[in-house]
């Protein structure tokens, strides 16, 4: 009945699917998030976005439905392979790049400890990353404008996931490549200094994340196909892409006036 409570215990896919079920069953029942992956703890569990994928694009079918409670226990991360930890770190690094330079500096300083899941620094970084995202969601729950800045790297990354049928790379890996594409595009447009691009990418590589399509053995994907798939993104409007770019580390801008040829150029530069 409508008094039922659904508990989502698991990673991002479990959380998204459970949240979508909770949003639609009897037009909405209460649910609780208990994320057990780093990616889910700092991203999917915060903000109330629930969705399932579609062959045409990622997260195209879903709803905004806030959980009543989110319970995060960093001890669950000890059961995960290192690849999953790296995929979670990319979202924390993203928060640093777009809005929280001190957090980015903390990750740079303690990257080894984070990869080793040392409790004190890990808990601090998870909490700060959640605070960053929660602040954005509080000010723009339904993604009218501000919340879309959290999609830095995701417009490129989601298209990459779609083109590979969600099987050939992890979400975090696709977003990492997408962050390189977004930063390279920012440099090409004269927004971002080359040194900031290098700093971002050096950190991504330092924690073991890919930054180029070739790193994932996906350099055979054409820039044209990737751009075409980006236009299927649910954040595109009036046949214009909403691109999240960075003018400096710790800052973010939204652009909807970038020519396709500039996007294609940036993708080509990030293939290998």
Listed in sequence order, the residues at least 6 apart from 16 whose beta carbon sits closer than 8 Å to its beta carbon are 44, 49, 50, 51, 52, 59, 62
CA angle 8, 132, 203 (to 5 degrees): 100
Angle, CA of 159, 162 and 164, to the nearest 5°: 110
Phi, psi of 29 (to 5 degrees): -125, 165
The set of catalytic residues is 27, 49, 91, 133, 143, 147, 151, 154, 158, 171
Closest to 53 in 3D by CA, of 44, 62, 43: 62
Measured CA to CA, the distance from residue 239 to residue 236 in angstroms comes to 6
Q: Where are the alpha helices (DSSP H) in the chain?
A: 12-24, 38-39, 82-99, 101-109, 111-115, 119-139, 154-163, 171-188, 194-206, 223-230, 260-269
């Amino acid at each position: 009945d409508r008094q039922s409570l659904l508990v989502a215990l698991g990673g991002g896919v479990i959380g998204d699917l459970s949240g979508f079920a909770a949003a639609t069953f009897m037009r909405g029942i209460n649910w609780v998030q208990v994320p057990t992956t780093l990616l889910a703890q700092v991203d999917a569990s915060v903000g109330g976005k629930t969705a399932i994928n579609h062959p045409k694009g990622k997260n195209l079918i879903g709803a905004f439905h806030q959980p009543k409670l989110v319970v995060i226990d960093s001890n669950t991360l000890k059961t995960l392979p290192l690849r999953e930890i790296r995929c979670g770190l990319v979202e924390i690094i993203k928060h640093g790049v777009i809005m929280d330079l001190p957090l980015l500096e903390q990750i740079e300083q303690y990257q080894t400890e984070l990869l080793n899941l040392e409790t004190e620094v890990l808990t601090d970084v998870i909490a700060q990353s959640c605070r960053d995202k929660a602040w954005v969601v509080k000010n723009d729950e339904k993604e009218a404008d501000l919340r879309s800045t959290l999609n830095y790297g995701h417009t490129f990354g989601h298209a990459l996931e779609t083109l590979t049928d969600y099987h050939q790379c992890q979400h975090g890996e696709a977003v990492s490549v997408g962050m390189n594409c977004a930063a390279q595009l920012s440099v090409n447009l004269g927004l971002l200094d080359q040194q900031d691009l290098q700093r971002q990418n050096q950190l991504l590589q330092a924690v073991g994340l890919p930054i180029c399509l070739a790193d994932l053995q996906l350099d055979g994907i054409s820039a044209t196909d990737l751009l075409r798939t980006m236009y299927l993104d649910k954040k595109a409007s009036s046949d214009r892409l909403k691109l999240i770019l960075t003018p400096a580390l710790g800052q973010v801008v939204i652009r909807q006036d970038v020519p396709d040829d500039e996007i294609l150029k940036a993708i080509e530069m990030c293939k290998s």
